[in-house]
Chains A and B, each alone.
Chain A
Amino acid sequence: MTSEFAVEMRDVVKRFITPEGSEMAAVDHVTMQIKNGEFFSMLGSSGCGKTTSLRMIAGFEWPTEGEVFIEGKPMGHTPPFQRKVNTVFQSYALFQHMSVFQNVAFGLEMEGAAKDEIEKRVKRALEMVQLTGMERRRPKQLSGGQQQRVALARALVKTPDVLLLDEPLGALDLKLRKEMQLELKALQQQLGITFIYVTHDQEEALTMSDRIAVMSKGKVQQMGTPVEIYERPSNKFVADFIGESNFIEGKIKSLSGNEACVFVPSLNAELIGMPISDGLVKGEEVTVCIRPEKIHIAEKNAVNQNMFRATVTNTVYIGVDTKVFVDAHGAKLKVWEQNRISRLDPKSFYTVGQEIWLMLMPENTLVLKKD
């Protein structure tokens, strides 16, 4: 390994001409460093620039500005067939006119590998994805899951430094997808290859990744481990995109050390002891962010601090949790209550119209700069 980073994108911009004739930046000054042996995900909704970034690493597109480095070497206009990265395509892109064996062997033939060498390596690759015995089938004769495995074997047989996966599980049904997620992760750990994984499915990204880049509008919103992304979203977009959040608008009334007192007009209450990030000043408009499962419900005002009254407007029982929707002085909040005890009596659940108390623990809240 010549470099600490398997792949690095340095201030990369990619502009396209839209059909209307104007310019649009699909990727807008993106900088990312992907470590060797890492399972790295790019997560975002369609059009966020994740696929374009991946295609620039693969070499199907070239950056308008900036540079992509693979193993520390600038790629410039290096064509895909000269890069030591391989791609698993969203559509699998299997050659329909070739058998499974021929598909997997294709890349090795291009390297000019010897015939028995090819046979040996293809056999091993197919074993790895549990497709032994399918060599002579055509891609069309396989199920979606099997086709996906062929695509995987075809890329892995080249022993790339980096494997690029563009929503590889998107076409599979839920159960198969979950199985494949674990299998892919295990495969990655076993092989020690760097995986760069593009997905719009946050659960998938959280399940598999060592690190995630959350992207939106061509920019990286936040980069970090799954825990960091979920527990410490750096802005409102990430907090909203990953999981669910309650947002309460407020204003910093006073500061002391790393804690602030935030006045929330909609609750007509002050939240005391809120942890704040750097750069916030007194009088600044902020958004207080709290996950629905981190709000406590109490029958009566016990602590008297960071507590306020609310009315239940709706409840939805979903098995693991009960979703309680409340109205607190006009602010609509959602609270997830875990069903820790087994019960049937409807009276043991919160009912619509019931008056309750909500408690916000300062350590569970985030105070973010207002967008």
Chain B
Amino acid sequence: MNPFRRSPFVITATVLVYFFLYAPIVGLILYSFNASRANVTFEGFIPSFSERVVMDGSLVKSSPCGLFHWYCDLAKNDDVIEAAGNTLTIAFTATIIATVIGTMAAISLQRYDFKIKPFSQLSLYIPIVIPEIVMGIGALTLFSQFFGWVNDAFNLSGDARLSLGMTTVTVSHIAFMVPFVTLVVQARLQGFDKSYEEAAMDLGANEWTTFRRVTFPMILPGVLSGALLAFTLSLDDFVITFFTNGPGSTTLPIYVYGLLRRIITPQVNALSTVWILIVFTAVLLLQVIQSREQKQH
């Protein structure tokens, strides 16, 4: 049909790159069913069912969960459960705040002129052009210097002393997420015809009603994709969290990193597999919802 055919070179390269992208993940999932506790070589799948876990050296001979031995093991791991809870709490809180203030900033930067506008716009590009580690140690320095000063100045002791934890992680996450939300929403607003709002005002809606009934529903897809991006950035973040977390605020990436530097059992693979599955399902669901919405319009 099309006179321009795809070259065999492009197709070969495409297949190879997809293979490169997926081979590690497939391997990772496969090893989550490994019978070897040391998880160095693949010693076969965990075989039969039985009442209790039977070990032979570092080999799992049988398990009540069978193939899914390491997944059961994972479910019993309190550290993992806590880390998962922390990760989600941070991601949800940070996403909500970043989306609200980021959207406000996007509207302001797209629609208004004011003195500090160039400064506001410029500051959005900082997280893009500066390595994450620089932001991470910057935040760490800020918190440690500030907390040190407060603790000394008010003579705080014990639990009252300010220290790194959930709050510092969340606050830092918001800082690197906001620019992404703002830029995404701003891009959406660029294609937004002002006459819709003028029509609403012409028909008697005041500014707030116009925003609520006309502007917001129209930029909602942009806001949602900004929020989704922010949420995944938060879930995925390692560097910022690494420098700003404290006791009791370990997230999953930090937890996994800790494991990698010590002993690795197939539990890590099981955790990774569950993670991949959850994210995959969530995104797939979102895609389905989005494409349905598109069909309705």
Please give the residue numbers on chain A whose beta carbons come within 8 Å of chain B beta carbons, in ascending order: 16-17, 59-62, 77, 79-80
Q: Mark B1-40, 1 if CB is under 8 A from A, else 0.
A: 1010000000000000000000000000000000000000
Having A61-B3, A77-B3, one finds 8 other A-B pairs with CB under 8 Å, namely A16-B1, A17-B1, A59-B3, A60-B3, A61-B1, A62-B3, A79-B3, A80-B3
- The bracket for how many chain B residues form the interface is under 10
Which residues of chain B come closer than 8 Å to A77, judged between CB atoms? Answer: 3
- A16 to B1, alpha carbons, bound, how many Å? 8
- A62 to B2, alpha carbons, bound, how many Å? 8
- B6 CB to closest chain A CB, in angstroms? 15
CB-based nearest B residue for A79? B3
The binding surface of chain A is classed by DSSP as loop
Residues of chain B from 214 to 273 with CB closer than 8 A to chain A in the complex: none
- B3 CB to closest chain A CB, in angstroms? 6
Which residues of chain B come closer than 8 Å to A60, judged between CB atoms? Answer: 3
Which residues of chain B come closer than 8 Å to A79, judged between CB atoms? Answer: 3
- A77 to B1, alpha carbons, bound, how many Å? 11
Residues of chain B from 169 to 228 with CB closer than 8 A to chain A in the complex: none
- A16 to B2, alpha carbons, bound, how many Å? 11
CB-based nearest B residue for A14? B1
- A79 to B2, alpha carbons, bound, how many Å? 11
CB-based nearest B residue for A80? B3
- B134 CB to closest chain A CB, in angstroms? 35
- B162 CB to closest chain A CB, in angstroms? 55
- A314 to B31, alpha carbons, bound, how many Å? 85
- B7 CB to closest chain A CB, in angstroms? 14
- A79 to B3, alpha carbons, bound, how many Å? 7
- B294 CB to closest chain A CB, in angstroms? 15
Which residues of chain A come closer than 8 Å to B3, judged between CB atoms? Answer: 59-62, 77, 79-80
- A363 to B3, alpha carbons, bound, how many Å? 51
Which residues of chain B come closer than 8 Å to A16, judged between CB atoms? Answer: 1
CB-based nearest B residue for A55? B3
- A77 to B3, alpha carbons, bound, how many Å? 8
Which residues of chain A come closer than 8 Å to B1, judged between CB atoms? Answer: 16-17, 61
- A99 to B292, alpha carbons, bound, how many Å? 44
- A368 CB to closest chain B CB, in angstroms? 38
- A56 to B95, alpha carbons, bound, how many Å? 53
List 10 A-B pairs, Cβ < 8 Å.
A16-B1, A17-B1, A59-B3, A60-B3, A61-B1, A61-B3, A62-B3, A77-B3, A79-B3, A80-B3
CB-based nearest B residue for A59? B3
What are the 8 closest A-B residue pairs judged by CB atoms, nearest first? A79-B3, A60-B3, A62-B3, A59-B3, A61-B3, A80-B3, A77-B3, A16-B1
Which residues of chain B come closer than 8 Å to A62, judged between CB atoms? Answer: 3
- A59 to B1, alpha carbons, bound, how many Å? 11
Which residues of chain B come closer than 8 Å to A61, judged between CB atoms? Answer: 1, 3
- A61 to B1, alpha carbons, bound, how many Å? 7
- A54 CB to closest chain B CB, in angstroms? 15
- A9 to B3, alpha carbons, bound, how many Å? 19
- A60 to B1, alpha carbons, bound, how many Å? 9
- A17 to B1, alpha carbons, bound, how many Å? 10
- A60 to B2, alpha carbons, bound, how many Å? 7
- A67 CB to closest chain B CB, in angstroms? 16
CB-based nearest B residue for A77? B3
- A79 to B5, alpha carbons, bound, how many Å? 11
- B52 CB to closest chain A CB, in angstroms? 57
- A62 to B3, alpha carbons, bound, how many Å? 7
- A17 to B2, alpha carbons, bound, how many Å? 12
- A80 CB to closest chain B CB, in angstroms? 7
- B26 CB to closest chain A CB, in angstroms? 34
- A81 CB to closest chain B CB, in angstroms? 10
- A50 to B94, alpha carbons, bound, how many Å? 56
- A60 to B4, alpha carbons, bound, how many Å? 9
- B88 CB to closest chain A CB, in angstroms? 41
- A227 to B255, alpha carbons, bound, how many Å? 84
Which residues of chain B come closer than 8 Å to A59, judged between CB atoms? Answer: 3
- A217 CB to closest chain B CB, in angstroms? 21
CB-based nearest B residue for A58? B3
- A252 CB to closest chain B CB, in angstroms? 48
- A61 to B4, alpha carbons, bound, how many Å? 10
- A85 CB to closest chain B CB, in angstroms? 14
- B4 CB to closest chain A CB, in angstroms? 9
- B2 CB to closest chain A CB, in angstroms? 8
- A80 to B3, alpha carbons, bound, how many Å? 9
- A60 to B3, alpha carbons, bound, how many Å? 6
Which residues of chain B come closer than 8 Å to A17, judged between CB atoms? Answer: 1
CB-based nearest B residue for A16? B1
- A17 to B3, alpha carbons, bound, how many Å? 16
- B109 CB to closest chain A CB, in angstroms? 25
- A345 to B44, alpha carbons, bound, how many Å? 105
- A301 to B126, alpha carbons, bound, how many Å? 89
- A309 CB to closest chain B CB, in angstroms? 50
CB-based nearest B residue for A17? B1
Which residues of chain B come closer than 8 Å to A80, judged between CB atoms? Answer: 3
- A59 to B3, alpha carbons, bound, how many Å? 8
- A283 CB to closest chain B CB, in angstroms? 49
